[in-house]
Amino acid sequence: MTESVVDLEERRQQLFEQLSNLGDFRPGMISVRYRKCGRGNCACAQAGHAGHGPQYLWNTTQRGKSRAQNLHLGPELQQVESELANYRRFVALCGEIVEVNEQICRLRPVPTLSDERELAQLKKTLQRKYSRKLRKS
């Protein structure tokens, strides 16, 4: 079933409202890590021992650089979990908005030009614009 442009615009507005009510968010993931301290007489030095931990880390990559931050078990870890869930929802909403916008673009009628000179000028302008792009590539 094809939706009308009005229905799609209404759906897009609903998605924008959901986006504005999203709250705080951040990209990344939470990982759990166990570490060995390096002291020879510590229990973690024994074979088969997992190490000290668990330690909770928030990991992310921004602008090509990896970052990690230790998280304390409790409210801090819970807050970061919530922010990561909000980020996943943000990404999903953005994808839905793009899909709805594409449908709107396909359904909107193409404007027609009644004046032949105006149409010829538009064709000439567009041809120049895109032929320049091809030459620069």
Residue 1 has pLDDT above 60, yes or no: no
pLDDT digits (tens, 9 = 90+) for 6-61: 999 999 999 999 999 999 999 999 999 998 888 888 888 888 888 888 999 999 99
φ/ψ (deg, to 5) at 103:
-65, -40
DSSP tag of 109: P
Domain spans in the chain, listed from the N-terminal domain onward: 5-136
Percent of the chain with pLDDT over 90: 61
Cis upstream peptide for 111 (omega within 30°): no
pLDDT average, residue stretch 70-81: 95
Half-sphere exposure of 101 (CA within 13 A, CB side): 9
